[in-house]
Chains A and B, each alone.
Chain A
Amino acid sequence: MAEEKESAEAMISEIHKQITDAFDVFDHEFNKTVDVREVGTIIRSLSCCPSEGELHDLLAEIEEEEPTGYIRFEKFLPTMTKVLMERRYRPIPEDVLLQAFEVLDQEKKGHLEPEELTKYMSEEGEPFTQEEMEEMLSAAVDPDKNVILYKDYVGMMTVEDN
Chain B
Amino acid sequence: MGCGISLNNDCSLKKTERAMKAAVLIQRWYRQYVARMEVRRRCTWTIFQSIEYAGEQDQIKLQNFFTYLMDHFTPTNSNQRDLISHIFTEDEVYKETELEKYFDHETIELPESYTGPHIDFPLTAAHAAALVEAFRHKQQLHARYVLQLLHETLKHLKLLPNINRVCTCFCEEITICGDLHGQLDDLLLIFYKNGLPSVEKPYIFNGDYVDRGKNSIEILLILFAFLLVYPNEVHMNRGNHEDYIVNLRYGFTKEVMQKYKMHGRKIHKLLQIVFSWMPLATVIDQKVLITHGGISDTTDLDIIAKVDRHKYVSVLRPPKKKKRHNMAEALSIRGARTSEGDIQTTNMDSRHALRRLSLTSTPCYSPGTRKRSPHDISRKVRRSVEEELEKCRRQVGFSEPYEDGKFSLSFSESDSESFEVCESDNAEWKQIVDILWSDPMHQEGCVPNAVRGGGCYYGPDVTEKVLSRHNIQLLIRSHECKQDGYEFCHNRKVLTIFSASNYYELGSNRGAYVKLGPDLIPHLVQYQVSRTTRKLTMKQRVSRVERSALRALREQLFSHKSDLISAFEKYDNNKTGRISLNDWATVVGSVLQLGLPWRVLRSQLVQSAPEGLLEYHAWFDDLAIEQPTTEHVHQSLLETLYRNRSNLETIFRIIDSDNSGLVSFEEFCQTWKLLSSHLNMEISNEAISDLARSIDFNKDGSIDINEFLEAFRLVDKIHYTEREGSLLLTTPGALL
Instruction: Show the binding face of A for B, using Cβ within 8 Å.
Output: 10, 13-14, 17-18, 21-22, 24-26, 28-31, 40-45, 48-52, 91-92, 96-97, 99-101, 103-104, 106, 120-121, 124-128, 132, 135-136, 138-139, 157, 160-161
Contacts and interface: CB of A to CB of B under 8 A. Distances in A.
Contact of B28 (A13, A49, A104): A49
A14 B92 CA distance: 59
A100 B34 contact: no
A49 B27 CA distance: 10
Contact of A44 (B36, B351, B352, B539): B36
B29 interface: yes
A51 B600 CA distance: 22
Contacts of A52: 27-28, 31
Best-buried of B24, B28, B38, B352 by chain A (most CB within 10 Å): B28
A144 to B, nearest CB: 11
Q: Which of B20, B30, B538 has the most CB of A within 10 A?
A: B30
Most buried by A among B20, B25, B535, B582: B25
A40 B35 CA distance: 8
A25 B45 CA distance: 10
Nearest to B581: A14
A30 B598 CA distance: 17
23 contacts: A13-B582, A14-B582, A17-B585, A17-B599, A22-B600, A25-B39, A25-B46, A25-B600, A28-B442, A29-B443, A30-B443, A44-B32, A45-B35, A52-B28, A92-B25, A99-B22, A101-B26, A104-B23, A120-B23, A126-B27, A132-B34, A138-B537, A138-B538
Contacts of B24: 51, 124-126
Given A45-B36, A48-B32, A104-B23, 5 more contacts: A21-B598, A22-B39, A101-B22, A104-B22, A160-B539
A29 B442 CA distance: 6
A50 B29 CA distance: 9
A29 B351 CA distance: 10
Contacts of B34: 132, 135
Given A41-B39, A125-B24, A21 B599 contact: yes
A121 B27 contact: yes
Nearest to B442: A29
Q: Which has the most chain A C-beta neighbours within 10 Å: B18, B22, B538, B598?
A: B22
A139 B537 contact: yes
The interface centre, meaning the residue of B24, B442, B598 with most chain A CB atoms within 10 A of its CB, is B24
Interface residues of B, number: 41
A104 B27 contact: no
A103 B19 contact: yes
A10 B18 CA distance: 42
Contacts of B619: none
Do most interface residues of chain B lie in helix, strand or loop, or is the interface mixed?
helix
Nearest to B582: A14
A26 B42 contact: yes
Contacts of B35: 40-41, 43-45
B36 A161 contact: yes
A136 B28 contact: no
B15 interface: yes
A162 to B, nearest CB: 9
A36 B202 CA distance: 42
Q: Which of A30, A42, A101, A121 has the most CB of B within 10 A?
A: A30
A42 B600 CA distance: 11
Interface centre among B26, B351, B352 (most CB of A within 10 A): B26
Contacts of B27: 51-52, 121, 125-128
In this complex, the member of A45, A91, A104, A138 whose beta carbon has the largest number of chain B beta carbons within 10 angstroms is A45
Nearest to B29: A92
Nearest to A20: B599
A97 B23 contact: no
Contact of A21 (B32, B33, B352, B597): B597
B43 interface: yes
Interface string B524-563: 0000000000010111000000000000000000000000
Contacts of A92: 25, 28-29
A45 B18 contact: no
A138 B29 contact: no
Contact of B535 (A13, A24, A120, A138): A138
A135 B537 contact: yes
Interface string B454-480: 000000000000000000000000000
A136 B32 contact: no
Contacts of A135: 34, 537-538
Q: Which 4 A-B pairs have the closest CB atoms?
A: A44-B35, A125-B23, A125-B24, A29-B442
Given A45-B600, A92-B28, A157-B33, A139 B539 contact: yes
B537 A24 contact: no
B443 A124 contact: no
Contacts of B1: 106
Contact of A51 (B28, B46, B537, B582): B28
Interface string B596-609: 01111000000000
B22 A31 contact: no
B26 A100 contact: yes
B30 A30 contact: no
B143 to A, nearest CB: 47
A82 B36 CA distance: 21
Contacts of A44: 31-32, 35-36
Contact of B20 (A29, A41, A43, A124): A124
B725 to A, nearest CB: 9
Contacts of B599: 17-18, 21-22
Contacts of A127: 27
A133 to B, nearest CB: 10
B351 A100 contact: no
A157 B237 CA distance: 48
Nearest to B15: A106
Interface string B34-61: 1110110011001000000000000000
Contacts of B15: 106
Nearest to B538: A135
Contacts of B43: 25
Nearest to A50: B28
B39 A45 contact: yes
Nearest to B33: A157
A100 B22 contact: yes
Contacts of A41: 35, 38-39
Contacts of B351: 24, 30
A103 B18 contact: yes
A30 B447 CA distance: 14
A139 B538 contact: yes
Contacts of B23: 100, 104, 120-121, 124-125
A21, A101, A121, A161 interface centre (most CB from chain B within 10 Å): A21
A120 B19 contact: yes
Nearest to B543: A160
Centre residue among B32, B35, B537 by max chain A CB count within 10 A: B32
Contacts of B19: 103-104, 106, 120, 124
B42 A25 contact: yes
A97 B582 contact: no
A97 B25 contact: yes
Contacts of A126: 24, 27-28
